[in-house]
């Protein structure tokens, strides 16, 4: 079985300027995910897909493959993620002459992810024979209990209703937030033309809230920096 790890890192981030290569406690943010992928040791290749030469050079310095720059049409704010992964997978197969059974996509903005999470996610995807798998964390709000939407007249209505109203949050169906940390794509899925990760055979891997933190804002960055500096988190690949 051959696995390709992809790390998609577009230049020109707006939420946190240059976040993929911004220094986080002594090394660029993207270095955490590259080092983790290499330490995991299950991937035939660890490949960074980027449109930025600076990111590509940084990624290569930490051991990742950067054989191409992502084309402009896949580097916009509105470009979907799946075509980016499909492009990287096709390029890798052509360049390296390998056939990948799975692509494991790891987000560069999730430095607290554990190797155990990657291993468990891949295991679940294989056992369930899922088309796709994505990591999630337990949601803080629940559409069956404490989330509302407005109707046509502007009145609040519960987002989702059951035959009997939910009196306690504990009694509501479990719901999760996607945290963008880990995605697993099967070869069969990548051979298709779907533009979304959601399929009839999509599985999830549930992460704890801290390991699943995704840096999407300056506050997120400062929080992760604090966690690392104060030694509130132990990396499993140092």
Q: What is the pLDDT of residues 53-85, one digit of tens each?
A: 999 999 999 999 999 999 999 998 889 999 999
Tell whether 69 is covered by a domain: yes
pLDDT of residue 165: 81
Distance CA 170, CA 89 (A): 42
Range of the domain at 168: 140-174
Q: How confident is the model at residue 15 (pLDDT cuts 50, 70, 90)?
A: confident
For residue 183, what are its two tokens? Answer: 């995605």
Tell whether 85 is covered by a domain: yes
Q: In terms of domains, do 183 and 194 share one?
A: yes
Q: In terms of domains, do 44 and 127 share one?
A: yes
- The pTM score is 0.93
Tell whether 235 is covered by a domain: no
pLDDT of residue 168: 81
Q: In terms of domains, do 59 and 131 share one?
A: yes
Q: In terms of domains, do 118 and 148 share one?
A: no
Q: How many domains does the chain have?
A: 2
Structural domain ending residue among the three candidates 174, 192, 221: 174
Q: What is the pLDDT of residues 136-180, one digit of tens each?
A: 999 999 998 889 999 999 999 999 988 778 778 777 889 999 999
Distance CA 46, CA 81 (A): 17
Helices (H), the chain: 29-40, 53-61, 81-96, 115-128, 187-191, 218-229
Q: In terms of domains, do 119 and 54 share one?
A: yes
Q: In terms of domains, do 72 and 168 share one?
A: no
pLDDT of residue 14: 72
Query: How confident is the prediction for the chain on average, in pLDDT?
Result: 94
Task: Give the β-pairing of 23-24 and 27-28.
Answer: antiparallel
CB atoms within 10 A of CB 215: 26
Q: In terms of domains, do 60 and 29 share one?
A: yes
Q: In terms of domains, do 27 and 39 share one?
A: yes
Percent of the residues in the chain that have a pLDDT greater than 90, as a whole number: 84
Mean pLDDT to the nearest integer, 80-100 = 98
Q: In terms of domains, do 103 and 23 share one?
A: yes
Backbone angles phi, psi at 174, to 5 degrees: -70, 135
- Strands (E) across the chain are located at 3-8, 23-24, 27-28, 45-49, 102-106, 132-138, 148-150, 156-158, 176-186, 202-206
pLDDT of residue 167: 76
Q: In terms of domains, do 120 and 147 share one?
A: no
Mean pLDDT to the nearest integer, 178-197 = 97
Tell whether 236 is covered by a domain: no
DSSP type of residue 173: P
Q: In terms of domains, do 182 and 213 share one?
A: yes
CB atoms within 10 A of CB 32: 24
Place of tokens 């046509």: 152
Q: In terms of domains, do 113 and 193 share one?
A: yes
């Amino acid at each position: 079985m051959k696995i390709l790890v992809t790390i998609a890192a577009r230049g020109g981030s707006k939420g946190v300027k240059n976040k993929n290569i911004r220094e986080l406690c002594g090394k660029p943010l993207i270095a955490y995910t590259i080092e983790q992928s290499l330490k995991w040791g299950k991937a035939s290749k660890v490949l960074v897909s980027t449109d930025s030469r600076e990111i590509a050079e940084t990624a290569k310095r930490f051991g990742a493959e950067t054989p191409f720059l992502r084309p402009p049409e896949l580097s916009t704010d509105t470009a979907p993620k799946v075509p980016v992964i499909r492009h990287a997978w096709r390029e890798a197969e052509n360049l390296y002459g390998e056939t990948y059974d799975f692509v494991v996509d790891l987000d560069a903005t999730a430095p607290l992810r554990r190797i155990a999470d990657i291993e468990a996610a891949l295991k679940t995807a294989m056992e369930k024979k899922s088309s796709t798998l994505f990591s999630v964390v337990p949601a803080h709000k629940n559409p069956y209990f404490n989330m509302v939407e407005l109707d046509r007249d502007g009145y609040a209505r519960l987002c989702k209703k059951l035959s009997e109203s939910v009196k306690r949050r504990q009694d509501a169906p479990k719901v999760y937030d996607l945290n963008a940390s880990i995605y697993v794509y099967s070869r069969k899925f990548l051979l298709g033309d779907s533009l979304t990760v959601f399929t009839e055979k999509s599985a999830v891997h549930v992460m704890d809230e801290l390991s699943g933190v995704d840096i999407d804002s300056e506050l997120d960055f400062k929080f992760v920096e604090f966690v690392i500096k104060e030694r509130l988190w132990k990396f499993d690949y140092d």
